[in-house]
Structure 1
Amino acid sequence: MSEPAGLQSGTTAATVELEQLTKRYPGSPQPVVDNVTLTIRAGETAVLVGPSGCGKSTILKMINRLVEPTGGRVRVGGEDVGAMDPVGLRRRIGYVTRASGLFPHMTVAQNIALVPEMSGWPRARIRARVEEMLDLVGLDPVEFRDRHPRGLSGGQRQRVAVARALAADPPVLLMDEPFGAVDPVTRDHLQGELIRVQGELHKTIVFVTHDFDEAIRLGDRIAVLRERSHIAQYDTPESILTNPADDFVSGFAGGGAALKRLSLTRVREVDIAAYPTLTVDDPLQEIFNKLRASVTNEILLLDQRGRPYKWLRRGDLMRAKGSLARAGTLVNDTVPRDATLRDALEAVLTDSAGRVAVTGRRGEYAGVVDVETLMNTVHELLEADRLEAMETRHALEEMRATQTHAEQEGEGGGQMT
């Protein structure tokens, strides 16, 4: 059986279409998934969010035929998955679960190489792909490739699971509450890593969660599901926050829409200041001179790989008697350019100086964002919400007035007749 065009190796992304998709289990009075029609655009992250038991995980499993639909169909890249070999289909769709699903007797490298090996890739290509995938998810290949899952933390196992799911370069990635079993700090980091990885790869991702904050942070579009997967609203996070379709959606989204929208804006979208920097290898006199000339009263010292290392202020070197080892304050927190403004605001608020260093993909220095910039953005979001709410209210009032006028004219016409 030839490989469908939409699922060929190297295809960046593919559209996923659900057409009147239904799943009914024997003996159940109601279907778990009832007549769902939904289109997920190629290259987008679509998040299915809803209460427990609404069928969102069942939808995910019907896409790769771990669960067979009772009715309707799924198309991936224009191809009906019901006509495909299910084993071959699953090899071409990445799948990450809450429990990672790594094989404990295999090394990290063997787990990642599994699908490429089954697909007949040459050994040299597989080795290179394993290294590439570990690097992509932020794990040092030298340190991690020969380790076993039992020797990894929960967050590291999930990173390896993502690397394995992406190893054969699938156009579609299914993620079923992949970060639900890790602690909040690790979960936050993994979400940030997924945002970064998606920014590089542009896969089609279908992500299941019950956490609306996670949904608005990760999703290009969100499907808010009721019981039996009835779609209450399918829209962008911004639209759902500012114009919820009904009370169910509004209640599920919760309050604080303007602050939630901080999760929709990336650090790269705001003004990142260029702080004066030097490296640990620069002469002390040059560091002195730059500190004296700095209008910010401080400089950022970078390590030998160009990563933020220490904040140095005037007087630090004098108090430390000219020794860089004892001078300044270590950089304890940074945010990547793909981080959300919410991440940046949390980092800034825990820093007494009210700023945080911004980094690139490999941790290299990219600039600094401060509390003033972030607060200005918050005010802009609040003002945008206020104006949009006013426009919506005025539009509704005009629509009601027009409707009332038309009804009155209709009644008058009837009397004349």
Structure 2
Amino acid sequence: MPDPFPTGGPAAGAGRPRASGATIELDRLTKRFPGSAAPAVDSVTMEIRAGEIVVFVGPSGCGKTTTMKMINRLIEPTSGRIRIGGEDVTSIDPVRLRRKIGYAIQSSGLFPHMTVAQNIALVPRMAGWSKARTSARVEEMLDLVGLDPAEFHGRYPRQLSGGQQQRVGVARALAADPPVLLMDEPFGAVDPITRDHLQDELIRLQHELHKTIVFVTHDFDEAIKLGDRIAVLRERSHIAQFDTPEAILTNPVDDFVSGFVGAGAALKRLNLTRVRDVEVVDVPTATVDDPLQSIFEALRSGTSNEVLLLDRHRRPYKWLRRGDLMRAKGSLARAGTLVHDTVTRDATLRDALEAVLTDNAGRVPVTGRRGAYEGVVDMETLMKSVHELLEADRLEAVEHQHRLEEQRAEQTRRAQEGKPGGPEGGS
């Protein structure tokens, strides 16, 4: 049987074309566990398009993780079919299947006795890649997830922060260039700020890689931020609504879905707009290696009363005001205010707004690859976007009310004329 969803093959690797995503079709997929009266997953039918992120969200125990694990057959289906790239993979060797599907879980799942490089190289080595090709791939993947290969190559998982471990976990899942990536609450065990940055990193990676990603979460805000489409699942993975985040926010199909949307749908729509969609401005900058006198002159000659100090890797480090330099007395060690948070261009406006409010400074630095400075987004820009979203929601509500009134008027007219479709005619 031909390979149902080939990776990049012998040519794949550093500097070579990567495999893009593959379609996933679930056809009446069902799982009954022994001893259970009802199925855990009951006849799920769904098509996931190539290159999109689909997020499964639903209450605990609804079957979302079980459904995802049947895709790579970590859980064997009781009945139904799974097609990837148009090929039925229900009966092929499950070990071979799993080598073709990336898998990332909560707390990274890294092997503690292996170095970062050994963890990432695991699947390529099992797939028979050459030593040179595997080594090049490890370097490429570390760079892709924003970790310096020279710094992290030989470290062990215990020497990494939680966020760094999750980045390595994603690198390992992508190392063999699979067209499909399954992610089971991968960012659930890290702090909120790190989680936001990891979400941004996944969005950035997807812009480059165009994989097909199935992502499981219990956090509806995370689903809105990441998903091209969201599958809201009821008990036994029955699909309540499968649509774009915007459609679910503005038109939930019933009270069950509305419960997931929750209050403040207009503000939740801030998760649909990215920093890259609004104006990012530049501010005066200096580096820690610049002489104090040149920094002072930049402040004195500039229109702003502050300078953003960058470290040696051009990452935002401190905000310096004119008064800070007067008190510096030849040293920047105690001068200025540390930058507590940054956002990437893939961050949502909600992330940026939270960062600005937390920092209480009216602006937040925007960073790119490896945290390098790219600009600043300010409160004025963010509030303008908030007002635009609220106004759009107000107009949508007015239009919706008009449509309802027109429908009622039409029903009344039909009823008066004795035509079907009125209160007694039914239709």
* Larger displacement relative to structure 2 (386-395 or 285-294): 285-294
Q: RMSD of aligned C-alpha atoms? A: 2.5
Equivalents in 2 of 1:35, 1:380: separation in Å? 42
Matched residue, 1:348: 356
Alignment of 1:189-338 (within 5 A): 189-321=197-329, 323-338=331-346
Matched residue, 1:107: 115
Matched residue, 2:166: 158
Superposed CA offset, 1:79-135 (max 9, x none):
111243322111010011224332233222111111101111111111111122222
Matched residue, 1:415: none
Using the TM superposition, give the Cα deviation of residue 322 of structure 1 relative to its aligned residue in structure 2, in angstroms: 5.3
Q: Is the 8 A contact 1:7 1:76 kept in 2?
A: no
Question: Is 1:75–2:83 an aligned residue pair?
Answer: yes
Q: Is the 8 A contact 1:14 1:43 kept in 2?
A: yes
Question: Is 1:395–2:403 an aligned residue pair?
Answer: yes
Matched residue, 2:12: none
Superposed CA offset, 1:224-258 (max 9, x none):
01111111111111111111111110012211112
Equivalents in 1 of 2:238, 2:214: separation in Å? 17
1:283 and 1:180, CA in 2 relative to 1: closer, same or farther beyond 3 A?
closer
1:286 and 1:65, CA in 2 relative to 1: closer, same or farther beyond 3 A?
same
Question: Is 1:373–2:387 an aligned residue pair?
Answer: no
Using the TM superposition, give the Cα deviation of residue 325 of structure 1 relative to its aligned residue in structure 2, in angstroms: 4.5
Equivalents in 2 of 1:137, 1:173: separation in Å? 15
Structure 1's unaligned 5+ residue stretches are: 413-417
Equivalents in 2 of 1:369, 1:394: separation in Å? 38
Question: Is 1:24–2:39 an aligned residue pair?
Answer: no
Q: Is the 8 A contact 1:335 1:357 kept in 2?
A: yes
Superposed CA offset, 1:39-71 (max 9, x none):
212111110000111111111111112222233
Matched residue, 2:67: 59
Structure 2's unaligned 5+ residue stretches are: 10-17, 421-427
Superposed CA offset, 1:352-373 (max 9, x none):
4311111112222111111111
Aligned identity (percent) is: 75
Superposed CA offset, 1:137-170 (max 9, x none):
2333233322333444433332222111110011
SS at match of 2:370: coil
Matched residue, 1:95: 103
1:156 and 1:280, CA in 2 relative to 1: closer, same or farther beyond 3 A?
closer
Equivalents in 1 of 2:104, 2:178: separation in Å? 13
Equivalents in 1 of 2:40, 2:387: separation in Å? 43
Question: Is 1:410–2:418 an aligned residue pair?
Answer: yes
TM-score by structure 1 length? 0.92
Superposed CA offset, 1:16-52 (max 9, x none):
1212222223443322222222121211111000011
Which amino acid letter does the alignment assign opposite residue 21 of structure 1? L
Matched residue, 1:361: 369
Question: Is 1:119–2:158 an aligned residue pair?
Answer: no
Using the TM superposition, give the Cα deviation of residue 402 of structure 1 relative to its aligned residue in structure 2, in angstroms: 2.2
